Structure 1
C-alpha cells in the first residue's frame, strides 16, 4: 500500500506550484500527470515565451480577472504576483518586464519556466507519476482518503485537483477534473470560451472585405439586448476571414458568450469606435475642415489618411458616398459618416469553441470552496486550484498568476491539514 500526505492531480501551472508548496511545508507529496511530461500547456503560454505573471499591484491584477477575480483577495494576501517573481528569481530564473506589466523569462523560452518548476519538484523530493490517469477520488465519511489510478490505489488525507479547463485538449485539458469533482457532489458552473476570437456572419466579414486589416487603439463595446454597454475595451483589433480577433476582441469574448447564453444564442451587438480619443464634435470638426480646405477633391482623397484606406472605402461605400466630391457632402451625410466611424456596429454570432480558445470560463462553483484555503466545503481534504475553478482573466499573465497563487495556497493548506488528519481504515471508500 502506497500512502502520501498530499496527492496533486495534474502537473500544469497550478499543480506544480501546489506540489512545490506542499513539499516545502514538509509533506510527503505525490504529483500525478497523465501526459508523458509535466507542464505541457505552460510551454504554449505567451506564444511559447511564457508570460509568467504581471508586475502590477494586486488590485489591478484582480481587476483584470473579470471572472470572479474578487474571490482571490484572500489567496493574494498569502501569496501574490511579487512572490511568484521572487520564486523564479531566487531559483536563478531571471525575468524581464514588457508592455502592460507582462513578465517573461529573459531567455524568452517557456521551457525555462517549466524546467525551474521541475527542478524544484526534484530537489524537494516530490514523487512524480507520469502517464497515469486518476479515475476516481477515494473518500469515506466526507473525508478524502486517496485516488485510484489504473490497477492501483494511492492513499493520502489530502488531494488537490489541478487538472485544468478544456482549452487545448491536446495538452491533456479534457475536463477530467470536472467529472471527478461532480461525482463528489460539486457543482460545475456552465463552461464557456473566454479570450477567444469572435465569429460573425456579417456580409462584409463573409465577403472578406476587411480581412487582414489591423486597427490600433480602437474601442470595442459589447451591448446587451437593451443596447446597454456590458464592457468596453480600448486596444488593437484585427479583422479576419471569420470575424474579428486581436486583444480588444479577445477581452470581449467572455461577455459575448455569457450574453449569448442569456438570449438563447441570438447574435450579440458589438460597437466599434475607430476614434475613441475624439468626441463626435471633434471628429466632425476635423472632417469639415478637410472638406472645406480640399473642396475640389473627391471625398475619398479629401479624407486620405483619416483612417486606413480599406476601412474608409468600405464606410463610404456603405453610405453610398464612394463617388462623391468633397463639396457635395451634405450636413446629414457628414453626420452619418461621423456616426459610422464612431459607432461601427458588428453582429457577433459566437466565438471559437473552448477547445480553440485561450481560457475556460466557468468551472467548479466557488460557493463550494473556502477562499482562504482552496479546500472543498463538501469533502474534507479535497482542494482545487487553477483553471478548474470558476475564475478567468484576460491574457497578459493574469490567468497564470491566478493558477500559481491558488496552487501555492492549496498546497500550503493541504500540507498543514495532512499533518493532523486521521485517515479512516482504508478497506472501504
Structure 2
C-alpha cells in the first residue's frame, strides 16, 4: 500500500482548480474549508502530523523547534510502513519532525535569489522525482510518503525582480513599496500550476492507494487587508508581509482532499481542521489512534470550532526580546501583534496575545467571507462567548509571556530569503 500526504506551502483554497485537483475532488472527499492551526510552516505541520493544537504539541516558532508529540510517521512505522519525507523548504529541517521518519530529505539544489529562491529551496519536480524513485525501490511494500513543496512560498523579493528593494523609512517599514510590487499574484498562479502538474505526474507514475493533499497556510493577495501592509491592533502600519502574521481567511483557510477507496465521494463546505487529518487517515486504515485534538471525518460529524494562532517569532516586547533584535537587525516589527482566533462556520473572533488575550476583531464569516466588517462592538454577547471559550481552551498557556532566543545572522538571512522577515 502506498500513502502520500502532500502539503503545498501557501496553498489558498481559491486556487485549487488544476485538472489534477478536480479529478481528485470528483473521486474522493473534498473539504473546501480546512482551517490550519497556525499561520506558518513548522507549528502548522506539527499540528497536521500530530492531530494536536499548538498549545498541546508545543511548537510555536518557525525554526529550531521541538515537539514531544507522537507524529503520524511514527504511528505508521509501528504498523510496518516505510516512512519518508521530502521537503523543498528551510524551516522543517531545523526541528525534530525529520527524526520521526525513517528517512527525511531536504532537497536544496538551486539558488536564484532574484526570484525569491535562496539556496534552501528545492522545486516540486525534484521532490516528486525523488519520491518516484524511492517508491520504485520499495515497490510491493507498505509505504508512507510526505511531500512538502515550497514553490508557492514566494517573497517580496520575487516581486522586486532585478530592481533594488525599496528603502526602509524612519519606522523601519518599506517606503513606497506599492511601486515595486505587482508580480506576486501572477507568479503565485504559475507556481500553483507547476506544483499541481508535478503531483499529477506522481500519480500517473505510481499506484497510490490513499492521497491526501492540503496546505499548511495560505497567502495574502493584492486587494486583501491592506496588502502588503500589516497593521497592529491600534491600526498602525507596522510592516509589509504577505503571509504568517495575520489570521484572516486568506491565511488560515486551505483545501483538503482525501482520495482512495476508503473515502466517500463528497464535497463538504463545513469547516474541518488540519488536526483532523491524522485521526481520519488512521480510522480509514483501521489503526488505533493516540488521543488527539482532532476527530475522524469519516463519521460525517464535523467540528464546531477551529483554533488558529500566529506567534510570528513573538514579535511583541511582551513575548520576545524583539527590541534587542530590532537594535541588531533593524527590521522594525517590535509592535506586531501575536494573535489567536476561534472560528465556527458562522463567526470568527480574533484576539491579540501580547501577554494576555484581548478581543480585537469579530467577523460574521458566513455573511462576510471577506472579513470587511468588524462586529466586535455590535455583537458583544457572541464575542464574549467565543472569548470565554478561547480562555478556557488556552488555560495557563505561557506562550504569551515567552521570551525566545535571539536568532543568528545566518538564520536571519535565510528567513529574509523566505519572506519571514
Structure number with the bigger relative contact order (C-alpha 8 A, sep ≥ 6) is: 1
More helix by share: 1
Q: Name the TM-score, length of structure 2 as normaliser.
A: 0.24
Q: Name the TM-score, length of structure 1 as normaliser.
A: 0.24
